[in-house]
Amino acid sequence: MTSPSSTAAAPSPKRRGLIAGLVTVAAITCIVLVAWVMTSTNRDPYVVATRSLDGDAQHGGLLFRINCAGCHGIAGQGLVGPSLQGVSTRLSDPQIIQQVVSGQTPPMPRFEIEPQGMADLLAHLHSFSDAE
């Protein structure tokens, strides 16, 4: 790589430096974004409030049958919406909470549930994983 003939075809050192710089900036941006998204969900006051409460799985089951069973099935086996069996092994609690309250994946609506209700619902969703 030191002889002039072998470097002729390769990008000039200046250009390589620029590419390396851009790749580094892109990588750092990705890491910062991922870290920001993860910590912002974990620090969200609603998520924090929900996770600080003890969920009542039985009341959660009632909420589930009223609000969710129409799409996810009475036992979370899946209908219009995907099966929720083992959902808490696939998704973290903040991710599940996000899924329920954000409305980011239509046709699933955005739910407004008070933190205690959300904690109850989470307890019920956890029971789908225990059964496996």
Interface with ligand HEC (CB under 6 A)? 67-68, 70-72, 80-82, 84, 87, 90-91, 96, 99-100, 105, 107-109, 111, 121
Shortest separation between residue 80's beta carbon and ligand HEC, angstroms: 5
Q: Which is nearer to ligand HEC, 21 or 109 (CB)?
A: 109
Task: For residues 32 and 87, give the distance between their C-alpha atoms in angstroms, rounded to a whole number.
Answer: 27
- Work out the angle at residue 32's Cα, subtended by the Cα atoms of residues 29 and 38, and round it to the nearest 5 degrees: 135
Nearest to ligand HEC of 13, 106 (CB atom)? 106
Do 42 and 98 meet the contact criterion of CB atoms below 8 Å apart?
Answer: no
The residue written with tokens 């589930």 in the block is 64
Nearer to ligand HEC by Cβ, of 49 and 62: the residue is 62
